[in-house]
Amino acid sequence: MTEYRRLRVALLGAGAVGSQVAGLLLRHGDELADRAGAELELAGIAVRNLDAPRDVALPRELFTTDAEALITGADIVVELMGGIEPARAHTLLALGSGADVVTANKALLATHGPEVFEAADRVGASVYYEAAAAGAIPIIRPLRDSLAGDRVVRIMGIVNGTTNYILDRMDSEGADFADVLADAQRLGYAEADPTADVEGYDAAQKAAILASLAFHTAVPLETVHREGITAITADMIEEARDAGFVIKLLAVCERLVDEGAESISVRVYPALVPRSHPLASVHGANNAVFVEAEAAGPLMFYGAGAGGVQTASAVLGDVVSAARRHIAGGTGVGESTRANLPIVPIGHVTTRYQITLEVSDAPGVLATVAGLLSEGGVSVATVLQTVAEPNGEEGGTARLIIGTHRAAEQALSATVDSLAASDVVERVVSVLRVEGE
């Protein structure tokens, strides 16, 4: 075997991903050394509890509770603890001592990205985070490097496996959200507290990371508009299917141009996606990121968005990249945030909508509804009226499904309020945005 320079790798955390990373580092050490041009010595694994059970059998002597001591003297620090503290402090300590950092910590990057990247720049180190945006799917390098000479127009990502699993089963089985969620929890697809997934927090963190990269702009997490999927009903999914759509939780990152001035919008919400769109056929817990760039046109990246060993693949790719950079010399490249585009609030975003109303089945109702839409500045593209009570008698309730042309969220929202307040509208059943048309 070739003699390589030895690099010390410190691993922080030994959960689902960390234990797989450690196992693969130990098992494929020789092969990874050939790839990296450096021997990757697993110097230790910092954990809170030395006796916690692990997914992978690992030598006990590698474990330590003294993360700081482990970090000091490491060439590459792999942070897989998750959460903000002490992950942030450890990351800054590592960068401060000149180590490169590999992280899968989307929460940390989405909330403290600029601080972390500045700390890396100060010492010429690099931060690698392929695992932080879409699990095993290579999306960071394509956005950061392959598309660096292009202009990204739009990203639409299915970046949360749990919600895609739930929506996909609701779609294929006609089941209710609560039932599928309970089953997903039983099967391990959803956590006991599913809030981070089903309320879109996880997707919003990933959207912030993707948008920052794609638009060379620091995107604070609080500027990401976020809606979850808890209000999605079996009825809404059935209605969507009838209209040729599937409902997906999307992370949308969009470049907007208004009279030559550019801005961006970053938002997470359940949206209607045409069944013919490539994203519509992303099933189960899989993820996919659809990217449209000015020159490259549409691109799609598909794969497993989560899972311990899958995510470990992305982490180890980053470890090899960090090692190669150590051997090659030179400083880290740093993040390009020089475009620094303004981020518009959701109210100024325009999309197409589908509004479903329950209305009284009486003469003049359609005219009233159309009038309110027109007053609100919302232009109607399609109207479908279905009788909710199939006895055919007037005086019951009917359903109006209205597809709009592009409308500003603000105008749409005010118009929906006036529809809800109208005498002829019994209930606003759903208001969903349409993406991917």
Kindly list the residues in this chain that would bind a second copy in the complex (CB under 8 A): 2, 20, 24, 28, 31-32, 34-37, 124, 130, 136-138, 140-142, 145-151, 216, 278, 281, 293-304, 307, 309-310, 312-321, 324-325, 327-334, 336, 338-339
DSSP code of residue 223: G
Q: Which residue, 183 or 302, has its beta carbon nearer to a second copy?
A: 302
Q: Which residue, 156 or 359, has its beta carbon nearer to a second copy?
A: 156
| Least distance between a second copy and beta carbon 100 (Å) | 13
Burial per residue of 4-13, b for 16 or more beta-carbon CB atoms within 10 angstroms, e otherwise: beebbbbbbb
Looking up tokens 């039932």 gives 179
- Hey, how many other C-beta atoms are within 10 angstroms of the C-beta on 153? 18
Whether 106 is catalytic: no
Q: Provide the 3-class DSSP secondary structure of residue 398.
A: strand
**What are the distances in angstroms from CA 265 to CA 155, 215, 258, 299?**
10, 10, 13, 20
Q: Which residue, 32 or 266, has its beta carbon nearer to a second copy?
A: 32
Q: Which residue, 296 or 384, has its beta carbon nearer to a second copy?
A: 296
Helices (H), 382-426: 409-421
Q: Using N-to-C axis directions, what is the helix angle for 161-173 and 177-187, rounded to 10°?
A: 130
Give 354's strand partners: 403, 432
Cis peptide before 86 (omega within 30 of 0): yes
Q: Which two tokens stand for residue 430?
A: 């759903």
| Least distance between a second copy and beta carbon 339 (Å) | 6
| Least distance between a second copy and beta carbon 242 (Å) | 23
Looking up tokens 């508009």 gives 225
| Least distance between a second copy and beta carbon 262 (Å) | 10
Q: Which residue, 205 or 313, has its beta carbon nearer to a second copy?
A: 313
Q: Which residue, 139 or 271, has its beta carbon nearer to a second copy?
A: 139
- Numbers of helices and strands, H then E, in the chain: 15, 17
- Closest residue by Cα to residue 389 from 415, 360, 426: 360
Q: Which residue, 247 or 279, has its beta carbon nearer to a second copy?
A: 279
Do the strands 407-408 and 350-360 form a parallel or antiparallel pair, or are they unpaired?
antiparallel
| Least distance between a second copy and beta carbon 196 (Å) | 23
- Hey, how many other C-beta atoms are within 10 angstroms of the C-beta on 51? 7
| Least distance between a second copy and beta carbon 84 (Å) | 26
Q: By the 8 A CB rule, do 352 and 409 touch? A: no
State how far the Cα of 186 lies from the Cα of 202, in Å rounded to an integer: 20
Q: Which residue, 35 or 241, has its beta carbon nearer to a second copy?
A: 35
Q: By the 8 A CB rule, do 429 and 358 touch? A: yes
Q: By the 8 A CB rule, do 175 and 234 touch? A: yes
| Least distance between a second copy and beta carbon 398 (Å) | 38
Looking at 88, 169, 206, 226, which residue is catalytic? 206
Q: By the 8 A CB rule, do 72 and 81 touch? A: no
**What are the distances in angstroms from CA 321 to CA 37, 266, 307?**
10, 29, 22
| Least distance between a second copy and beta carbon 359 (Å) | 39
Question: Which residues are catalytic, by number?
Answer: 206
